[in-house]
Structure 1
């Protein structure tokens, strides 16, 4: 088919469609065919507007999400930020990428542009977990960001992004550890959609205040932290490894246990934390 013939055929098809559309809209208003046509046109117009709005707002949403994450990192870092802007406070924190398989720092990538969520969707940048998936994340990114707080050259706080399945949502949080790589200093869940007033208390200040001082990893390097059902007996010998359960939210509580034990274990930050622990003892 020549170019001229193709253009003529296209013009004829377009003219035919336009003629059909005019014929439909000349129908009486109570004709079901006209009602259906108007509804279809309105749906198409609305979908175009919604799609255009979503695309135009995406950069703003990404900037807001990045700023919110900075704020959460600064909060769990426990820095004295008096007189500092958020960006100035965040600049006090060292950002690195870690190879979860080896526990080594990754030097050939920018931790500020890396997204572990995107990496988890890429078969070339993640590992399928199959049945070994207590956190319910299906694929584990091969690399994860970490945030380090130093003072006078000495490591003071290790901040790890942690995430896993709750009852209704994937819960994303930040865990701050002492330099020994075993003891919690702070925890926050900045993204979750658990049941309001029950599982949503995973982000509540009262419950999160129970975490500082808890020993999350045993002497053998294995995660031992557990969110229990009910309240922890403070006189029990394992109390330092236990956190009170969320009332009426057993599955959310179990989700926190699972994501912690996975994230701190051999398939998570375990190799990295083991290296830090050895350096700390040394």
Structure 2
């Protein structure tokens, strides 16, 4: 092959590569709104699943109309007026990028391995006849290989677990990945978050649970289970939703 032919072939490869790059980039940009819509839809499904309002069928958007989304100030548990922080527009994880809307956790505080904690959080309320029926709270924390993202639904007494879901993680399939198994998640139903001293007492244990504060563990997934324990104790403690739940415990309206 002479030099001119080699140069022409090289130019053709470069042009083809550039065209492919433009097409891939264009497709990524064009699909981004659809991907974001699918992500939000999946989150709504998991919120509904945790609250036992979705069993795999039905119009998710229609079912979600019974859920009221609000923003709370984690420091004191108070609701934030929508004119201050609009729940429909609030990017909770995105707020971690700003020092104005998040804070660095100390080593002693950071039992869930978060690094930073947002100042505001979304909460999801389900009411019946104007009275509080269920509260669904977003939780997250480090497992063995990844950050675990999920939702915990509580009954109106703000201590009894109705359901739990984990919708995103990178744990080992068949081991830590069992946190997304509906059968394992069902074991959380009816468990109590707080003991008589109003301290977070819920715990995943090795073997079988022996009381209302314990959940069966997954064999061979000790570190992932430890991560679940840590995130539950963080988010239901004083640096998570503890102030919010304490403020409204005993109230039937929010």
Fold match (TM-score > 0.5): yes
**Runs of at least 5 residues in structure 2 that lack an aligned partner in the other structure:** none
Counterpart CA distance in 1 for 2:198 and 2:243 is 9
Q: What SS does the corresponding residue of 2:23 show, helix, strand or coil?
A: helix
Q: What SS does the corresponding residue of 1:102 show, helix, strand or coil?
A: coil
Q: What's the offset of the Cα at 1:85?
A: 2.8
RMSD: 2.4
C-alpha contact (below 8 Å) 1:182/1:218 kept by paired residues: no
Counterpart CA distance in 2 for 1:225 and 1:167 is 20
Partner of residue 110, structure 1: 86
After TM superposition, the structure 1 = structure 2 runs for residues 1-282 of structure 1, keeping only pairs within 5 Å, are 26-27=3-4, 29=6, 44-79=18-53, 85-107=59-81, 108-131=84-107, 132-232=109-209, 234=210, 239-279=211-251
Counterpart CA distance in 2 for 1:168 and 1:214 is 27
Q: What's the offset of the Cα at 1:147?
A: 0.6
Q: What's the offset of the Cα at 1:119?
A: 1.0
TM-score by length of 2: 0.88
- Judge which range, 119-128 or 267-276, deviates more: 119-128
Distance 1:56 1:151, change over 3 A: same
The CA deviation string for residues 217-268 of structure 1, in whole angstroms up to 9 with x for no partner, is 1233321111122322x3xxxx211111111111110111011100111110
Q: What SS does the corresponding residue of 1:177 show, helix, strand or coil?
A: strand
Counterpart CA distance in 2 for 1:49 and 1:164 is 37
- Aligned residue pairs total 247
Counterpart CA distance in 2 for 1:124 and 1:145 is 17
The CA deviation string for residues 80-122 of structure 1, in whole angstroms up to 9 with x for no partner, is 89x9632221111111011000100111222122121111222
Relative to its length, the structure with more helix (as a share) is 1
Which has the higher relative contact order, 1 or 2, with Cα contacts under 8 A spaced 6 or more apart?
2
The CA deviation string for residues 115-161 of structure 1, in whole angstroms up to 9 with x for no partner, is 21111222221111131211111111111111111111111111001
C-alpha contact (below 8 Å) 1:111/1:145 kept by paired residues: yes
Q: What SS does the corresponding residue of 1:67 show, helix, strand or coil?
A: helix
TM-score by length of 1: 0.80
Partner of residue 8, structure 1: none
C-alpha contact (below 8 Å) 1:172/1:192 kept by paired residues: yes
Q: What's the offset of the Cα at 1:27?
A: 4.5
Counterpart CA distance in 1 for 2:228 and 2:17 is 42
Q: What's the offset of the Cα at 1:278?
A: 4.1
**The structure with more radius of gyration:** 1
